[in-house]
Each structure stands twice: as structure tokens, then as C-alpha cells.
Amino acid sequence: MRILLIDDERPTLDMMQLFLEAYGYEILTAENGEEGVAMYQRERPEVVITDIKMPGMDGIEVLTRIKALDPVTEVVVVTGHGDMDLAIQALNLNAADFINKPVQKDALEAALRRAQERISRHLGAENRVSMEDRGPVTVLEIQGNITSRSETVLQDAYNSLIASEKQRVVLKLQETATINGAGIALLTQLLMEGARKGMKAGITGISDNFRRVFEVVGVTRFATLYEGEEEAVEALSRL
């Protein structure tokens, strides 16, 4: 897999290149946005990792340009620590993922793994939802990325949940799934409606990054985040 690294910091580029090459990735580097976009057009790498704050063309614009060139490209943005607004802005622009600076090995590994899996499975916009009864709790497994296009599928699932009159639900997201701004808005809206009707919800299977995003946008007010499915079922059963 070829990865294009865009960062205005040469040391960061060098270190990241060494690090990722150790994983066996083929690495391209660019020191600014313009150069990055040009190199993307030339080389068409599968994954782009770009810093958000850069002089000249910044990460957001790089993201926009690349998504315009090819919406399927996995673009991971690197944000400053706690820069949630920019992260959410990037997610709204269909960034695949975001990682915080200083870059943690695990976060980078996970982001790349998810990206690779998505690429290998070609999980585009399609969502598949399966429901499973676990006693008083319904487990709703959602595959694929959650975007604005997931609205119909999610709404259907939600309607059937309401119909089943079960008041406890666990949303089980796939580990490789990403969720963009529109997806977050959709999810928030459905969970809010459910909460108003007395539904208790739990969410599992989200990465640490998205955990932060969910906290910031307020999803956690309507649903509790759990580490694993079993834990979630158990906790909700007890309510």
C-alpha cells in the first residue's frame, strides 16, 4: 500500500516515513499542500495522511481537493491535540479518520489498519444492518461507514426497533467503520428521538478517536459507550 505523507515539518515527515516504512508501506512525502495535491494527482496513492495546519494550502483544503479528485481515497488528517473542531470539520468533508499529534503508534497503526481493510473489502457507502435479540437487549450491528447515505438503512432499523417495543439497544459498530459528520448528525438525531421515547442505548466498537468526537458532539448524552458487546449487553440488561 502506498501512503502519501503531507506535512510542513521535515523532521516529522522523516520520522513518519521511517516508521511507516518499517511496516512495509511505500511512502511518498510532500512538504506542503500544493505539492501534496500535485503528487497525489501524479501517483494516486491509496492513502493520504495530511497535517491540518500548514502554511499556504492547509489540510482541510488538501482533503477537499483530493476528495474532489477521488472520493474513495482514504484521507487521514493529523490534528493538534484537542483540536476537535478541526477534526469534526474534516470528518464532515469525508475524511476517513483523524489522529492527534503527537502521533501515537497505536492510533496510527489502527487508522492504517482500518484504512487497509476498507480498501481491501471495498466497503464503500453500503451499509448492512443485522439485528440480534439478546434477552431484553437488541444488538444492532452496523457494517460499513456511517455517512449521510446511511440514513435509510438506519431509519429502517430504528423504526423496527421502535416497533419491537424493546427499550434497550446496543449499537455495534464495525471496528474498521468510520463515521463522518453527516453520519454523526444522523446517529445523534436517532438516538435523541429514541431517548425521548424512553429507549436506553449503548454503543460499542468505536475507536478512541471517535470516542472523543462522540463526547464533544454530545452523542454520549443519549447513549453510553462500552468497550465490548458483552459488557454493553450486561450493563443494559441491568437497567
Interacting residues toward other proteins by CB under 8 A: 8-9, 11-12, 14-16, 18-19, 22-23, 53-56, 58, 80-82, 101-105
CB of 22 to other proteins, least distance (A): 5
CB of 15 to other proteins, least distance (A): 4
Residue 103 DSSP code: P
Largest CA distance in the chain: 57
98/129 Cα distance (integer angstroms)? 25
HSE, CB side, 13 Å, CA atoms: give it for residue 162: 14
Q: Given the complex with other proteins, which of 13 and 95 has the nearer CB atom?
A: 13
Cβ contact 91:64 at 8 Å: no
CB of 152 to other proteins, least distance (A): 37
5 is written with which cell numbers? 505523507
Amino acid 219 reads: V
Q: Given the complex with other proteins, which of 23 and 113 has the nearer CB atom?
A: 23
From 16, 165, 2, select the one nearest 103 (Cα to Cα): 16
Q: Given the complex with other proteins, which of 23 and 128 has the nearer CB atom?
A: 23
CB of 222 to other proteins, least distance (A): 30
CB of 58 to other proteins, least distance (A): 8
211/122 Cα distance (integer angstroms)? 25
Q: From edge to edge, which strands make up the β-sheet containing 26-30?
A: 26-30, 2-6, 47-51, 74-79, 97-100
Please state the φ and ψ torsions of residue 66, each to the nearest 5 degrees: -70, -40
Q: Given the complex with other proteins, which of 19 and 35 has the nearer CB atom?
A: 19
Q: Given the complex with other proteins, which of 58 and 151 has the nearer CB atom?
A: 58
CB of 185 to other proteins, least distance (A): 26
90/21 Cα distance (integer angstroms)? 26
Cβ contact 159:127 at 8 Å: no
Q: Given the complex with other proteins, which of 17 and 188 has the nearer CB atom?
A: 17
